Structure 1
Amino acid sequence: MRTALATLLQPVARPRITTDRELRRYVAMVTAIALVAALSLDGAQQMIFFVSWEVTLRNWTLTTVIVLVVTIPVSLLMGLPQRELYQAKLLVERLSRTDMLTGMLNRRALMEAAEQEPDAATLMAIVDIDHFKRVNDTYGHQAGDRVIETIGRMMSARFEGMALVGRLGGEEFALLADHRSLRRLTGSIEAFRKALQNRPIVVGDRAIVVTVSIGLATRRASDPFDQLYAETDGALYDAKRSGRNQLRLAGEGEANGAAEQFAAA
């Protein structure tokens, strides 16, 4: 009996309230329990000291009003902190996974996404803004931030639905996708690179021309993610060493021609 009662009252004593709907349900449940308990006690009292049905109905009405007036505000005071605490936890978690400058996924979120399915084959690309220090030195750090923001927005819009896109940090971005998207995504990344070099980024009254170097690699289901990351980073290094403003696929030569072959396949 005690165990059953404890189970019944657990949602009241230890509520888990995460939404407005759950808060309303909690208030209704607490109010209903309080009302049933109060009317039961009042009914027992009326059975012992019965005067008339008129008096009994008046007492029950008064009891109901008192319970509603007291219980609803009290249950709200108990439930609101639970909902706000949960929402605060969600906000902290979201902020811990979001890059503050661009609003994109941050490095942690990208790494977690890549490691959630360790047996899945994955494609990864790292995009690095060429000579970004020169941008900061020439135009100032605020202009550099605007460049990063703009490229982040462009990537998010272009690859929406195709890949997870985020900022690794500094002037580096990353894309993660299923390896079966290799042909389509390689062509899209190459198109993005070409579009960026022909589209100056306007910051105030200045038009800043930037280019990007890109490394791309894929892994088999049995390969660890660390290996994929290292191969992607190596492909990026090859792109920089070969003159920047180009896409390199790990284990292959320059991918510009490969992208055109993929698009034609």
Structure 2
Amino acid sequence: MPGDRLTNEDRQHIAAGLAEGLGYTEIGRRLGRPGSTIMREVTRNGGPDDYKAQRAQEATRQRARRHRQAKPPAPPAGDSSHGRDPRAVQDLTESFATLLEQQGMPRMTARVLACLYVTDSGALTAAELVQRLGVSPASISQAVAFLEQQGLLKRERTPGGRRERYVVDDGLWVRSTRAAVQQNDTLIAASQRAAQILGAATPAGARFGVAAEFLLLVNAPLRQVMEQWQQSHTDRNARAPLSE
């Protein structure tokens, strides 16, 4: 199952797949796991050219042994406001982070985003994230940098203070989608240029041409959806009663 730990047999299949020259996605498909899981497994155990199943299995046992010996971090505090069950909120946060991780987001990044997303304010400082997640400031800094690059959070100053806090809001997924569209635009331009250089009638050039054509089709409805959302959001704000 995708959420289970890799077994020794899984690692044997990974090693065999690498020897065949298969990519992470194809190996993951054969094992019923995300390609990102395979990539992390291979990367932390020697890379694609030096991955050994038995060595990876032993390294995993040693990491698990060290983890059991270490003092476990305190669980994140659940939000008990609005009559919520703190345990239910904590479980929700962890399950949402796991979902994001299974979709390819790095684990710490997923935990930070989930922690922010379940708060009513949608805003926490680095110190608050460190306390809630029981991790180092450096881990928070790396996760925040990734999320900011993807348009999934923004920084702002705390009211009346000098510290920064990290914020998620209702525009999170719009910004994320816009970032994806911009990344696709970059790939489209590069693919079109590659097709010209290689020759559109050649197999390699045609491959780039097909990529550009597909990404253009992907971006068109995404732009339309964002425009519709923006118009809907504007209309909703216009209908909202003015506060006295």
Structure with the higher strand share, 1 or 2: 1
Q: TM-score range by the shorter chain?
A: under 0.3
If you compute each CA radius of gyration, which structure gives the higher value, 1 or 2?
1
- TM-score, structure 2 normalization: 0.23
Q: Higher relative contact order by CA 8 Å / sep ≥ 6: 1 or 2?
A: 1
Structure with the higher helix share, 1 or 2: 2
